């Protein structure tokens, strides 16, 4: 697993968020209410629950270079760099 600097990690989170806001109209058409796993500004997988998205991301990307977002028709809420889904 490679170590990512804090500034690089913040940039990735920010880039993923911007990509998500651009993708949101298309995602809403088929996946409203679901959760999307993002990596490198791409939607990797759409899953029905937040915990499913979290488990998918942690099992596929152990380097923790990923984001998850809720697909909904309200403005996305930016939770910040340090927000995490609970571990189960």
Q: 77 in a domain, yes or no? A: no
Contact by Cβ (8 Å): 81, 9: yes
Q: 39 in a domain, yes or no? A: yes
Q: 76 in a domain, yes or no? A: no
Q: 75 in a domain, yes or no? A: no
Q: 82 in a domain, yes or no? A: no
Per-position pLDDT tens, the chain of length 88: 566 678 887 888 899 999 999 999 999 999 999 999 999 999 999 999 999 999 999 999 988 889 999 999 875 555 555 444 444 4
Domain count, the chain: 1
Q: 84 in a domain, yes or no? A: no
Domain span including residue 48: 6-70
DSSP state of 78: -
Q: 32 in a domain, yes or no? A: yes
């Amino acid at each position: 697993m490679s170590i990512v600097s804090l500034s690089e990690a913040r940039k990735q989170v920010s880039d993923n968020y911007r990509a998500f806001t651009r993708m949101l109209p298309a995602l809403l058409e088929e996946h409203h209410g679901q959760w999307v796993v993002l990596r490198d500004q791409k939607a990797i997988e759409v899953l029905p629950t937040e915990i499913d998205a979290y488990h998918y991301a942690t099992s596929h990307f152990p380097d923790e270079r990923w984001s998850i977002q809720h697909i909904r028709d309200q403005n996305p809420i930016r939770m910040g760099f340090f927000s995490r889904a609970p571990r189960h």
